[in-house]
Structure 1
Amino acid sequence: MMRLRDLGGVASSAQLIAAGATAEALTRGVRSGTMMRPRRGYYALPAADPMAVNAVRAGGRLSCLSAAAKYGLWAGRDPRLHVTVPAKSTRLADPGVDVVRHWTTRSGGSEVWRVSVVDCLRSVVRCAPREDAVAVLDTAVTSGLARLADMASLVAGEPAWTAGVFARARPGSDSGIESIVRQRLTEGGHVVEQQVHVAGVGRVDLRVGGRLLVEIDGYAFHSDRGAFERDRHRDAELARRGLRVLRFSAAQVLDSWRQVEAAIDRAVTDPEVRYDTPLRTQQLRSLA
């Protein structure tokens, strides 16, 4: 049971037997309800992540955006289960959910329920829309799961067009939403800096055109009153310093981008927006 938890709640019989379990003990565990068998030769705790269990039941491992979600990265809004399965797999079971199967001859990682970080990033670039793929790469670099310097090596063995996607990765996005804002504003011709430090306030998500500060609130934003009050204090302090900040929610960015972009465009060109306090961009070389 301990080894099963260490492996993320899902493991193969070979892994469990190598850790000291016996075939008889595994059978007893299934009969007693302390574990379940989603597929022949695989075992899971009753409380194991349903996505992980469904991936094994479907004949493979979580991949692409589904694996990205389990690594704490941006996962877009694709509700389907992305699973990597061996290229020669046959008679795969139906897990009862909408599945996207990625057929591959390689899949690294010690966990039987999800691919490695490297294979996750590669599958995301091949499968996901470019904007989402870059957001996954950005959050992987910022979180430390990947290095910007490694992006070139991830292209090895991949289709030639993927190099352009990997080349768009940048450090500094704490969330996929921040990455999407950066990408869209940059493509719109704006100069965008991320993780800008303001003395007495702290880090601000973005500075646009050297003038306008932009903060992005994620889906879980304001889950408590304290978070709400802290951000109101930050906004007031920025205003006291003569700096203007625009704050947008994740829903606004994803569902009402034209309005968000129009507000930013107008604010950047507004002569009343001041930039008279020295700011410095936080050094992010350690992430590269």
Structure 2
Amino acid sequence: MSMRAELHRAGGLLRSTDLMQRGYSAHAIASACAAGAVMRPARGWIALPDADRELVLAAQRGMVVTCVTLARRRDLWVRRSGGLHLATRSPKQHAPRGPHRVHWGGAVVRREPFAIIDSIENALNYVATCQPPDEALAIWESALHSGLVSRPALARLPFRGAARRLLERCSPHSGSGVETYVLQRLRRLRLHDVPQAIVRGRPVDFLIERCVILEVDGATHTGRQRDRDNLNDAIEALDGYFCIRVSYRQVFEDWPEVQRLVMMAVAQAQLAGGPGGRA
């Protein structure tokens, strides 16, 4: 296997000692660097010229990719990553300034000496104090739902403070980050809610107080899908349900208005007697 193929298989970069252990001499590595086939992004590291920039920066800083950046890389729900998040290897490590956020807290899972990608458990630990509580909970539940971690395994780790509180609250049954986010707000209002409830044979995002349907649409909610949903909304309204359809943006940027609509709908639906109860 060529050196470039070896690097590509490893994600774009490797320690030079790892390459030598795989049979490449120091001379071969130096020749490849001189020819521009590979590069030295940091002392002791060899990378492809088009290697992942986040990993290259982590190697250059002597840190690890973690927190919401790692969550995003593992395809977990993340509302906004806010740039690259890195963690130091020790509390005393010098962290040069740059376009990244640095986390200093200790790891709950020991890292390999030259790791540049953190474990999901360590990333969740940083998420707990880095992100707003509801968004942090959504990321934790996304990790549970995806199967990357399990609640019993997390319970055996030395989480403290905000992370321990999240562990006590989180559930693997939430289908998405938006679902987690909305549920937390509905439950603060002490409303009975059922996520992914079945109404007239089809799932709805939320059934509130058994009479109000709340649907949250993503950016791609257009065309025939929107036509079908509008038709279902109309049929459900004729059956006595109050239907509220809002956008992803409204949920995260204008929740007070969404909440007002929900409370008004609940009040009116209960006055009307709910599904089947209208005059």
Normalised by the length of structure 1, the TM-score is 0.78
Partner of 1:234 in structure 2? 229
Pair 82,240 (structure 1): closer, same or farther in 2 beyond 3 Å: same
CA distance in 2, matches of 1:121, 1:90: 21
Find 1:256's aligned residue among 245, 254, 257. Answer: 254
Which amino acid letter does the alignment assign opposite residue 131 of structure 1? D
Q: Report deviation, 1:107.
A: 4.2
Task: Flag the 1:179–1:28 CA change in 2: closer, same or farther, 3 A.
Answer: farther
Give the number of the structure whose alpha-carbon radius of gyration is greater: 2
Per the TM alignment, residue 111 of structure 1 is displaced from its structure 2 partner at its CA by 8.8
> 2:179 — aligned with what?
178
2:147 alignment partner in structure 1? 144
CA deviation after TM superposition for structure 1 residue 91, in Å: 4.7
| Matching residue of 1:48 | 51
Quote the residue 2:264 is aligned against: 266
2: CA distance, partners of 1:273 / 1:48: 61
Partner of 2:205: 205
Q: CA RMSD in A?
A: 2.9
Change (3 A) 1:24 1:163: same
Residues 11 and 111, structure 1, Cα contact 8 Å, conserved in 2: no
Shift of 1:266: 1.6
Q: Is the 8 A contact 1:60 1:83 kept in 2?
A: yes
- Say how many residue pairs are matched: 267
Relative to structure 1, the CA distance from residue 117 to residue 264 in structure 2 (aligned partners, 3 Å threshold; closer, same or farther) is same
TM-fit CA distance, 1:103? 4.2
Distance 1:90 1:170, change over 3 A: closer
CA 149–91 in structure 1, closer or farther in 2 if over 3 Å, else same:
closer
Structure 1 counterpart of 2:146, one-letter code? S
Over the matched positions of the two proteins, sequence identity in percent amounts to: 27
> Is contact 1:55-1:81 (8 Å) kept?
no
- C-alpha deviation, 1:198, in angstroms: 4.4
Q: TM-score, length-normalised on structure 2?
A: 0.80
Q: Shift of residue 161 of structure 1?
A: 4.8
In 2, the alpha carbon distance for the partners of 1:22 and 1:273 equals 80
Change (3 A) 1:159 1:25: same
CA distance in 1, matches of 2:247, 2:18: 44
- Report the Cα offset of residue 4 of structure 1: 2.7
- For 1:268 and 1:110, the matched residues in 2 are separated by 56
Is the CA contact (8 Å cut-off) linking 2:14 and 2:45 kept in structure 1? yes
Cα distance in 2 between the residues matched to 1:24 and 1:89: 35
How far apart, in 1, do the equivalents of 2:273 and 2:70 lie?
Answer: 42
SS where residue 8 of structure 1 aligns?
coil
Seen in structure 2, the aligned counterparts of structure 1 residues 162 and 2 have a Cα distance that, compared at 3 Å, is: same
TM-superposed CA distance for 1:135, in Å, is: 1.0
In structure 2, stretches of 5+ residues that fail to align are: none
Kindly tell me: are residues 58 and 187 of structure 1, through their superposed partners in 2, closer, same or farther at Cα, counting changes over 3 Å? Answer: farther
Select between 131-140 and 96-105 the one with higher mean Cα deviation: 96-105
CA positional deviation for 1:238: 4.5
The question of whether the paired residues in 1 share the 8 Å contact of 2:196 and 2:205 is answered with yes
Name the CA distance, whole Å, in 2 between partners of 1:194 and 1:110: 43
Measure, in 2, the Cα distance between the counterparts of 1:249 and 1:263: 13
Q: In the alignment, residue 12 of structure 2 is paired with which amino acid?
A: G
Cα drift, residue 20 of structure 1 = 4.1
- Secondary structure class of the residue paired with 1:37: coil
Alignment of 1:11 with 2:14, yes or no, is yes
Counterpart amino acid of residue 36 in structure 2: G
Quote the residue 1:283 is aligned against: none
Secondary structure of the corresponding residue to residue 166 of structure 2: helix
Greater relative contact order, per chain length (Cα 8 Å cut-off, separation 6+): 1
Superposed displacement of residue 132, structure 1 = 1.8
Change (3 A) 1:111 1:88: closer
What is the rounded CA distance, in whole Å, between the counterparts of 2:44 and 2:16 in structure 1?
5
DSSP 3-state at the match of 2:205? strand
- Alpha-carbon distance in 1 for matches of 2:95, 2:29: 23
